Amino acid sequence: MAIDEKLEPVMAEVMRRNPGETEFHQATREVLESLGVVLARHPDYAQDALLERICEPERQIIFRVPWVDDDGCVQINRGFRVEFNSALGPYKGGLRFHPSVSLGIVKFLGFEQTFKNALTGMPIGGGKGGSDFNPRGRSEGEIMRFCQSLMTELYRHIGEYTDVPAGDIGVGQREIGFMFGQYKRITNRYESGVLTGKGLRWGGSRVRREATGYGTTYFVQSMLATKGDSLEGKRVVVSGSGNVAVYTMEKVIQFGGKVVACSDSNGIVVDEDGIDLDLVKEIKEVRRERISTYKKLRKGNATYIEDGRIWTVPCDIAMPSATQNELNGADAKALIGNGCIAVGEGANMPTTPEAVRLFQKAGVLFAPGKASNAGGVATSALEMQQNASRDSWTFEQTEARLATIMAAIHDRCAETADDYGMPGNYVAGANIAGFIRVSEAMRALGVI
C-alpha cells in the first residue's frame, strides 16, 4: 500500500529528521500507509500538525552507563529512554538489553508501543528504552552492577505517574529486581508502580510472564474463529525460545495445537512428536543454555539445524516471536507454499513489509504485533492497578481479564477495518484504531 500524497511530506520529514534510523522509518511508514482513508473522512486530523507531532517523540534521553566487571575493569555502555507519547497516560514500555539497541531501534519500539497501548483501551502512553549491554555470558554480579548503574541515571526520568518501564529482550524478573532495588535505595520510597514485571513476592502480577505469548495466541484464535476455525489440531511453528515464545507454545498446546518447531539465534529444533515444552523451559529458564541442548536431551524424533530457517518447516500457523524483521519475503513465500493459513506476531515488527504484503495477497490471516502482542503491556497495566490498590489477584482472575482485553483488541481492529472498507485487514484496523484514540487525546490536550 502506498502512502497517500497528503502524507508524503510527513514521511519525508521523518526521514530527514531521523537519518539512518531504518527501523523507525519502517514503523512510521507502515502506520502512515493506513491513514489516507482516515484523512479523507476526517480532514481535521491534519490540522495543528497533529500527524507531525505524533511521529515526534516527546522526549529522547541518552546517557552513559559505567560499571565494573568481575575482573575489576571499567566497562561503558549506553542507556536510552524514549518517552514517545503521554496523551493517554504515563509512558509505558519495556527496557531491552541487547547489543543491537540504538536510538533508532528504541524509537521504532516506542512508536509501535504508543499505538499498541492505545489499542488496549487502558490509560497508558507509549515509551521504550534499554541499553546496548549484552547480558549473555555475564555473571549475576556483573548484571546487578550494570542494572544499578543504569538506574542511577534512569530514576530521574521515571515514576508511577510519569514513566513506567517493564522488561523486554534481555530483561526479566531478575533484572527488574536489581533495578527496582536501586530505585528504592536512591529515592527512599517503595513505589511498587514504578516498574512492572516484578516478582510475585514484591508487587508483581500473576500472568505477567505468560501474558505476551498467551495474548498473541488468544488473538490468533479469535482470527481463526472468524473463519469458523480454531487452533485445535493445527501444526504450529514458533520462532524464538524466550519468554514470548515459551508461553505462546504453552497456550497453543492448551488450545489443542501441536508445536513442531522453535528456535534461538543459533539454530532451530524440529520435533515431529511435538515440542516438549517442559524441556524447553528447563533449558532456557533453568540451565540458561542454547536450544541445541534440546536434541541432546530429547528422546525421540527431534532434529537440530544450525543456522536453519524455521519458516521452511511446513505448518498451518506461524508465530514469529523472536525479534524485528526475522520473517522476510522469501520466508513468506515458503510458508504460503506449504499451506500456512495464519500468522500471529508475538515479537515487535518481526515481519518485513514485503512479507506482510505477500501474506495479505495470498489471503493468509495476519495479526500485526501492535495488536496481537499487546497482552504483555495490558497485563503490566493490570499490575499497576494492583499496585495502586495494594491488591493481588489470582492467576484465574488475571488471565480472564487478559482474555477479555485481547478479544476486545481483536474486535476493535476487525470492526475498524470493516468500517474503512478493508475487511480482514488487521494491519489497517490496528493502525487506524490506535491512531484515532491517540489523536483524539492529543487534540483534547491542546498544542503541547
CB 83 within 8 A of CB 117: no
Check 107, 128, 198, 234 and give the catalytic one: 128
| Known binding-site positions | 92, 113, 116, 167, 212, 243, 380
* C-alpha closest to that of 180 among 200, 202, 162: 202
* Cα gap 395→399, rounded to integer Å: 6
Which position has the grid cell 515444552?
Answer: 277
* Cα gap 407→345, rounded to integer Å: 16
Residue at 291: amino acid letter = I
* Cα gap 113→381, rounded to integer Å: 13
DSSP for 2-65 reads: PPPTTTHHHHHHHHHHSTT-HHHHHHHHHHHTT-HHHHHH-GGGGGGGHHHHHTS-SEEEEEEE
* C-alpha closest to that of 81 among 164, 6, 145: 164
- Report helix, strand or coil for 85: strand
| Known binding-site positions for substrate | 92, 113, 116, 167, 380
What Å distances lie between residue 340 and 69, 269, 332, CA to CA?
47, 19, 9
Q: Is 184 a catalytic residue?
A: no
* Cα gap 406→400, rounded to integer Å: 10
Question: Residue 195 class from Cβ within 10 Å (0-12 exposed, 13-18 middle, 19+ buried)?
Answer: buried
CB 146 within 8 A of CB 119: no
Residues forming the active site: 128
